[in-house]
Amino acid sequence: MTKKTPDEPSFLTEGILKASLIKAEALRLGFSACGLAPAEPVDKVHAERRLQWISEGRHADMQYLERNMDKRLDPRLLVEGARTIVSVALNYYPAEKLSGWALSRYVYGQDYHEVMKARLRQLAEHIPPKEGYETRVFVDTAPLDERYWAWRCGLGWQGRSGQLILPKGGTYFFLGEIVLPYEADIYDTPIENRCGTCHACVDACPGQALRGDGTLDANRCLSYLTIENRGDLPPGTGQKMGTCFYGCDRCAEVCPWNRFAKPTEVEEFRPSKQLLQMTREDWEQLTVEQYRAIFKGSAVKRAKFEGLKRNIKALARKK
């Protein structure tokens, strides 16, 4: 990573973050959007909805979502001295599409956690440390509601699918945050929901997992069932999978805002030649050695080889 040089403009003036410089640098680093919000407790509506979602068991067996609820609802308890949250979005929409059987688009390339963190750290390097406090970088691995904070930072709004929708961008974005111990000179304003009367994502969901209010029932969601779920697939799951055996993009594919989606310029998110050449027969005959080679450095490994084979077999049975 490149360290800040003495002749570069400071992102901090008299202890105050300069939002315009942070945003400009974020765009230079390849992020699609960047915004800032004060670190404070989440609003009452969001907090009550989150607690109800958990109490109803709609998070399935993802028990980690039950833990550290106090920190999820107040980032100041997650990072001591937190004053500002910077939220960024990075486009992953692929120019190439997998033919035949496929995976969710977000895993076409390298693991987004590592790609995002590397760029976030580059951005954070421009902000000097504050004695006694930490600057923290997060990408989907901490009790911080990234979609909520992306909304608070003015990047977009949460649609009925629960996904964040960027105006003139759509939903194919990874999100990440920097939590800082400084206040900013300007904070962004949340974007009002622009879904209107559209229910395309709700109608298209093969598992009827979307409730129409921005929340989902993970017990019925194909992404949960084919990735996070470590047990057997419920009967009939293969019939709902279409041609996708890892994750599900159905709600994104029908979202009208994704007409604005443009292919990513992030080289790390582009699929390998080996992945693009895989056929249905290749997937059915996938060996553990091939799995390790194709998905080296990929987020697909979250489902493990056994999980992937389970999904492939379910899809094969419906032929």
Residues annotated as catalytic (active site), given as ranges? 140
Tokens of 181: 């111990």
Nearest-5° angle of CA 19, CA 189, CA 202?
125
* Bridge partners of residue 129, in order along the sequence: none
Euclidean distance between CA atoms 74 and 125, whole angstroms: 25
